[in-house]
């Protein structure tokens, strides 16, 4: 006998949850869990698929994280439709899951980064107009002119543009199309990158480069999967070496893709050119500045594997690579890899895990590796290849310190006599000088001489920086801009607003006053906001059209100045004064990066560093040219204090409009902090800038041993705390800015 009673046919479903597949969908919202939807009958869905799902009154795009077969779907809303986008690869999803747990951010917020460029819309096309060969029944002056404009070759432009080019109305073009004289076809605006030519001859490598490459190959041959540090002094040719290593990877797997990360947008172009020269084809570029169409195209070409070499800023880590087999972190020590607003993450550290998840090689390149990376090499977690020789060099420059206590510059001047003399001699000899001062604008502070008022951005604690060339006062944190007023906004006194302290513009003024006949220029993000103007300035230096260049930290980022023989670091104390953990390390790195640019084959370079702390270990070590000694001292110090890379740190950041509410929340947060004997919770404390954009800020600093799961601790803490909607709470694992 057959029992039919439990067949769904005989259940009317009114009192039973209906059965269907259930899709767990991650939506790009700050929500910690996937949302569940019913998979409608007939829809085929799998993990990684992009879908549209109803959310309240609207439809949103999301990614299927998993499918539960024959699950009770009750009254779940159904998935609206599957989108025609390449599914998010398994490795990407595992990476996002891991990242969400590690940086203590909701999975939805992490996935949002990975959806930039994920669109089902077809890629944009451009119309191409060409003559069919047919002649119009009636010719007119306007028609002849339009046809003349098309005579040469097919033209990639819109009908309106063609009309404009021919100096007539769009109706004329329209008429010729209707008459069959002009045909319209469409071509994609963004084409896939050309395949790299892996067999073309590379540059001949110098012996030091050859040795480094051999070591990298040996490491690969023995199946080593650890990240590899390419540690080479400025000018040693690290780029050629990692390009050869990438070529190996691309050659041994025809589907392999490689990613080169650079610290900031301005450096992508330089590297794009190097890659294009080496492989005869332009790689794919990815950074936050590319437009929506290019972004969609890039997403597609990365997902379908047609982009084999990608050069990008940190967000390229979230692209849906189909077969990622190697990642390079160029200038791995660079602080720009750390994002500390919104989602806080360190792209270098994430890249190590991203590489592990897709079985890719990882190369870190730097002339001044971070202490974190050095420590990882010593622990045996990373391998290291050292390149010491500079290409055609006369060795490292001679470094001397100028004691500003003994040689103070005149009032409202910033160049000491010894530095002025050195510039003078260098200029007289026809050589180039670089003055480094990491401060944009004219003066970092504007103060009223009548009442002492300090100009600040509205609702913020940060000072307004005077930019005299543009006549503006600018807040470098919020971007707030105003004209410099004539009268003090506090006491109305006129012409009493006084610039305090130096910026590159003010230094430029001083240099021009002292060397009126020298050719000078400023190199900062204000004078070189885009790749084109960066190249222009670098080119002018190369052609020796500039005698004295005054630059911010932008000059320390990989640009080569072959004729430079003198570098002056105007204020080495600047970075040291901040009092943050990496101040000494960063000072040493910048000094090495900047001074490393001095000197050429026939003439050794000199570096003069102005400081009021000549005994500071970082500076003293630089002067002795004993970098190893400095690294040892700094590592010993970090170890003694349990600081990174010998301990772990996290920040719990709070911000809100009403100070009393914020104080109440942080008081409560302090009370509910989890207890763990090996963990130290410090705070709540006020950050350096206590108010920003009208938001008060407070924070806790947490320190734990290396083997402690600090992410889990912070997640538990966050979960135990009820935060009102008017207060924002954010976690920053491995913070860089906590002064």
**Interface with DNA by CB under 7 A: which residues?**
29-31, 33-37, 54-58, 76-77, 109, 724-726
Nearer to DNA by C-beta: 512 or 718?
A: 718
Angle 399-405-408 (CA atoms, 0-180°, nearest 5)? Answer: 90
Residue appearing with tokens 């597609």: 300
> Minimal distance in Å, beta carbon 312 to DNA?
24
> Minimal distance in Å, beta carbon 695 to DNA?
12
> Minimal distance in Å, beta carbon 29 to DNA?
4
| CB contact at 8 A, 107 and 34 | yes
Phi, psi (deg, nearest 5) at residue 230 = -100, 100
Nearer to DNA by C-beta: 57 or 133?
A: 57
Cis status of the peptide bond prior to 638, with omega within 30 of 0: no
Sign of torsion over alpha carbons 217, 222, 228, 229: negative
> Minimal distance in Å, beta carbon 628 to DNA?
46
Question: What DSSP designation does 337 have?
Answer: G
CA gap 179, 366 in Å, rounded: 63
CA gap 484, 468 in Å, rounded: 9
> Minimal distance in Å, beta carbon 572 to DNA?
40
CA gap 21, 40 in Å, rounded: 8
Nearer to DNA by C-beta: 121 or 359?
A: 121
| CB contact at 8 A, 465 and 525 | no
700 pairs with which residues across the strands?
652
Nearer to DNA by C-beta: 77 or 544?
A: 77
Nearer to DNA by C-beta: 30 or 539?
A: 30
Nearer to DNA by C-beta: 143 or 697?
A: 697
Nearer to DNA by C-beta: 78 or 280?
A: 78
Return the structure tokens found at 715. Answer: 């997640």
Instruction: List, as one string, the DSSP characters of 601-668.
Output: TTB--EEEEEES-TT-HHHHHHHHT-HHHHHHHHHHHHHHHT-TTSEEEEEEEEEES-HHHHHHHHHH
> Minimal distance in Å, beta carbon 57 to DNA?
5
> Minimal distance in Å, beta carbon 82 to DNA?
16
| CB contact at 8 A, 51 and 43 | no
SS (H, E, C) 443-510: ECEEEECCCCCECECCCCCCECEEECCCCEEECCCCCCEEECCCECCCCCCECCEEEECCCHHHHHHH
> Minimal distance in Å, beta carbon 656 to DNA?
9
Query: In this structure, how many other beta carbons lie within 10 angstroms of the beta carbon of residue 249?
Result: 18
> Minimal distance in Å, beta carbon 460 to DNA?
18
Nearer to DNA by C-beta: 31 or 487?
A: 31
Nearer to DNA by C-beta: 22 or 296?
A: 22
Nearer to DNA by C-beta: 115 or 303?
A: 115
> Minimal distance in Å, beta carbon 55 to DNA?
4
> Minimal distance in Å, beta carbon 340 to DNA?
17
- Buried b / exposed e across 135-149, counting CB within 10 Å, b at 16+? ebeeeeebbeebbeb
Nearer to DNA by C-beta: 109 or 225?
A: 109
Cis status of the peptide bond prior to 310, with omega within 30 of 0: no
> Minimal distance in Å, beta carbon 123 to DNA?
23
Nearer to DNA by C-beta: 96 or 242?
A: 96
> Minimal distance in Å, beta carbon 27 to DNA?
8
Taking phi first (over 0 means left), then psi (-120 to 50 degrees means alpha), and beta for anything else, what does residue 690 get? alpha
Nearer to DNA by C-beta: 58 or 543?
A: 58
| CB contact at 8 A, 95 and 354 | yes
> Minimal distance in Å, beta carbon 655 to DNA?
13
Closest CA to 589 of 227, 332, 208, 391: 332
Nearer to DNA by C-beta: 76 or 448?
A: 76
Nearer to DNA by C-beta: 9 or 41?
A: 41
Determine the distance from the C-alpha atom of residue 461 to the mean position of all C-alpha atoms in its chain, rounded to a whole number: 26
| Alpha-carbon distance values, 413 to 302, 393, 446, 467, 523 (Å) | 52, 34, 16, 17, 20
89 pairs with which residues across the strands?
none
Return the structure tokens found at 482. Answer: 């105003």
> Minimal distance in Å, beta carbon 37 to DNA?
5
CA gap 370, 593 in Å, rounded: 13
Query: In this structure, how many other beta carbons lie within 10 angstroms of the beta carbon of residue 737?
Result: 17
Query: In a 3-state reduction of DSSP, which class is residue 188?
Result: strand
CA gap 576, 579 in Å, rounded: 6
């Amino acid at each position: 006998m057959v029992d039919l009673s439990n067949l769904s046919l005989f259940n009317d479903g009114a009192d039973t949850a209906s059965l269907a597949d259930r899709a767990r969908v991650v939506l790009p919202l700050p929500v910690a869990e996937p949302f569940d939807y019913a998979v409608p009958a007939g829809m085929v869905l799998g993990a990684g698929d992009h879908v549209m799902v109803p959310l309240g009154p609207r439809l949103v795009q999301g990614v299927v994280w998993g499918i539960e077969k024959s699950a009770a779907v009750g009254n779940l809303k159904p998935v609206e439709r599957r989108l025609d986008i390449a599914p998010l690869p398994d490795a990407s999803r595992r990476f996002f899951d891991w990242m969400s747990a590690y940086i203590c951010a909701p999975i939805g917020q992490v996935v949002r980064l990975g959806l930039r460029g994920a669109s089902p819309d077809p890629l944009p096309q451009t119309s191409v107009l060409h003559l069919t060969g047919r002649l119009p029944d009636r010719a007119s002056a306007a028609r002849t002119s339009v046809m003349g404009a098309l005579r040469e070759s097919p033209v990639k432009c819109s009908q309106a543009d063609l009309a404009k080019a021919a100096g007539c109305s769009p109706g004329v073009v329209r008429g010729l199309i209707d008459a069959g004289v002009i045909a319209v076809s469409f071509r994609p605006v963004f084409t896939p990158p050309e395949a790299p030519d892996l067999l073309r001859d590379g540059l001949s490598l110098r012996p030091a480069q050859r040795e480094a490459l051999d070591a990298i190959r040996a490491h690969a041959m023995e199946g080593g999967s650890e990240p590899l540090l390419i540690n080479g002094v400025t000018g040693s040719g690290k780029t050629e070496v990692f390009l050869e290593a990438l070529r190996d990877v691309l050659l041994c797997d025809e589907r392999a893709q490689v990613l080169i990360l650079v610290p900031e947008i301005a450096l992508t172009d330089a590297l794009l050119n190097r890659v294009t020269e080496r492989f005869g084809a332009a790689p794919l570029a990815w950074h936050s500045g590319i437009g929506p169409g290019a972004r969609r195209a890039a997403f597609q070409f990365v997902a379908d594997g047609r982009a084999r070499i990608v050069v990008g800023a940190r967000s390229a880590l979230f692209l849906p690579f189909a077969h990622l087999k190697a990642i390079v972190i160029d200038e791995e020590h660079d602080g720009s890899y750390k994002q500390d607003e919104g989602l806080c993450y360190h792209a270098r550290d994430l890249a190590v895990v991203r590489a592990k998840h897709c079985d890719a090689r990882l190369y870190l390149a730097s002339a001044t590796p971070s202490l974190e990376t050095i420590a990882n090499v010593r622990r045996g977690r990373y391998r290291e290849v050292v390149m010491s020789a500079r290409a055609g060099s006369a060795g490292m420059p001679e470094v001397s310190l100028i004691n500003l206590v003994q040689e103070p510059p005149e009032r409202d001047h910033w160049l000491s006599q010894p530095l002025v003399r050195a510039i003078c001699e260098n200029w007289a000899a026809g050589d180039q000088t670089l003055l480094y001062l990491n401060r944009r604008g004219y003066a970092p502070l504007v103060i009223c001489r009548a009442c002492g008022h300090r100009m600040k951005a509205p609702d913020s604690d940060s000072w307004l920086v005077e930019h005299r060339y543009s006549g503006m006062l600018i807040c470098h944190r919020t971007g707030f801009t105003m004209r410099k007023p004539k009268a003090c906004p506090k006491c109305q006194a006129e012409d009493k607003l006084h610039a305090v302290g130096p910026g590159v513009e003010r230094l430029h003024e001083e240099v021009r006053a002292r060397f009126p006949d020298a050719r000078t220029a400023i190199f900062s993000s204000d004078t070189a906001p885009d790749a084109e103007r960066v190249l222009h300035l670098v080119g002018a230096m190369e052609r020796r059209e500039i005698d004295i260049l005054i630059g911010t930290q932008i000059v320390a980022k990989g640009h080569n100045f072959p004729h430079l023989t003198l570098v002056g670091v105007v204020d080495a104390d600047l970075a040291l004064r901040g009092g943050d953990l990496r101040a000494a390390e960063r000072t040493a790195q910048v000094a090495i990066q900047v001074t490393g640019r001095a000197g050429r084959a026939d003439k050794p370079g000199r570096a003069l560093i102005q400081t009021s702390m000549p005994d500071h270990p970082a500076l003293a070590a630089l002067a002795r040219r004993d970098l190893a000694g400095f690294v040892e001292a700094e590592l010993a110090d970090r170890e003694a204090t349990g600081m990174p890379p010998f301990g772990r740190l996290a920040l719990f950041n709070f911000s809100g409009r009403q100070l009393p509410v914020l104080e109440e929340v942080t008081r409560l947060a302090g009370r509910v902090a989890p207890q763990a004997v090996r963990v130290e919770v410090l705070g709540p404390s006020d950050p350096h800038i206590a108010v920003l954009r009208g938001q008060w800020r407070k924070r806790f600093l947490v320190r734990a041993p290396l083997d402690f799961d600090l992410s889990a601790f912070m997640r538990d803490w966050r979960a135990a705390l009820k935060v009102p909607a008017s207060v924002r709470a954010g976690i920053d694992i491995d913070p860089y800015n906590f002064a």
